[in-house]
Amino acid sequence: MHLGKENLWELSERAQLLALDLKSCCQLLYASEDNRQEFLQCKATARRYETNVDAVVSQVQAAIVAETAQLADKLGAATRGIAEAVAAARATSKTFSERVVEIRKEQAMARLDVLPPQHVEVEAQERESNDDILTTNVVELGIWITGGIGHPSDDDFYTFTLPNGPRDIFRVELENHSTTLEPELHYYDSRKSHTRGLSNGTTGADLSYEFVAEPGSRHHLQVRNDDRATTGAYLLRIAPRNAYDAFEPNDTVL
């Protein structure tokens, strides 16, 4: 009665949003030593919200006691205390959400701060989360996509399906667009089996890989850094070589 349904719902919804924001902070910041202090500040903000909610509960209890004892002055003070505690919780949640948005922007800029050259037409962009083989970005063959390793333990997974038709050679190209990233590339076949891995310990280096696979099959690629310590932006493309001869298919007597 003293808190009100709207305030109760708001506190509950903000608690859920705060939990999601804290999870985002964990994903964006905790893996990097450079961002550990920022992550601790995120945790401190979450604890501050808990303290705000505890203050609301305390003021509600005080209001109930004052109302039962018919102490008008104390009831008025407790009611004002409830409003102040709710406002403090609202401000804490809002500030935290705004900071998480800023962190996301900072991470994006750190990953994709290098623009591709004019002769490369970028047609798609990596979308997080794609950190494992079950949460991949689906990419089309023959187009350049831009992506980035945003923190040292970041992994980018992509999946693609080969076209039906003659069996062909396919070329994977990773074009480095930073002076910091040491790239590493892993190829998984249609059974999600790790088939090939290659890396280059030179910062800013490119990678390429060719493979032959059955038409219509689905495959996966993993992009990461070579030493789990570097970050940077890159371009990625999987393209057919069209290396089959003009008489394909000619695998049977018919």
Query: Residue 159 sits in a domain of what CATH number?
Result: 2.60.120.380
Note whether 181 and 113 are within 8 A (CB).
no
For residues 90 and 131, membership in a common domain is answered with no
Residue 249 lies in a domain: no
Q: Is the pLDDT of residue 36 over 80?
A: no
CA–CA distance, 127 with 135 (Å, rounded to integer): 10
* Residue 81: both structure tokens together: 């205390």
Q: Partners of 184 in the beta sheet?
A: 199, 224
Q: Does the residue 223 lie in any domain?
A: yes
pLDDT digits (tens, 9 = 90+) for 185-203: 999 988 888 988 999 889 8
Q: Are strands 144-149 and 122-125 parallel, antiparallel or unpaired?
A: parallel
Contact 187, 172 (CB under 8 A): yes
In a domain, 70, yes or no: yes
Q: How far is CA 162 from CA 60, 124, 226, 248, in A?
A: 63, 18, 27, 17
Domain termination site, one of 90, 111, 132: 111
- 211: domain range? 122-240
How far apart (Å, rounded) are the C-alpha atoms in residues 230 and 148? 11
How many domains is the chain built from? 2
Query: Residues 242-254: what's their mean pLDDT?
Result: 71
The predicted pLDDT at position 246 comes to 67
Q: What pLDDT shows up at residue 16?
A: 74
For residues 147 and 232, membership in a common domain is answered with: yes
- For residues 17, 23, 24, 26, the Cα torsion angle rounded to the nearest 10 degrees is 150
Does 112 score more than 70 pLDDT? no
Note whether 13 and 105 are same-domain residues.
Answer: yes
pLDDT at 15: 73
pLDDT of residue 118: 47
Closest CA to 223 of 142, 124, 154: 154
Strand partners, 183: 225
Average pLDDT over the chain reads: 78
Amino acid 231: pLDDT: 85
Q: Which strand (E) or helix (H) includes residue 76?
A: helix 72-111
Q: Is residue 33 domain-resident?
A: yes
102/152 same-domain check? no
Q: Is the pTM for the entire model greater than 0.85?
A: no
247 occurs within a structural domain: no
Please check whether residue 245 lies inside any domain of the structure.
no
The answer to whether residue 184 scores a pLDDT higher than 50 is yes
Of 111, 144, 165, the last residue of a domain is 111
Average pLDDT for 124-131? 71
Question: pLDDT value at position 115?
Answer: 46
- Tens-digit pLDDT profile for residues 71-89: 777 777 877 877 887 888 8
Q: Comparing C-alpha atoms, which of 195, 199, 188 is closest to residue 226?
A: 199
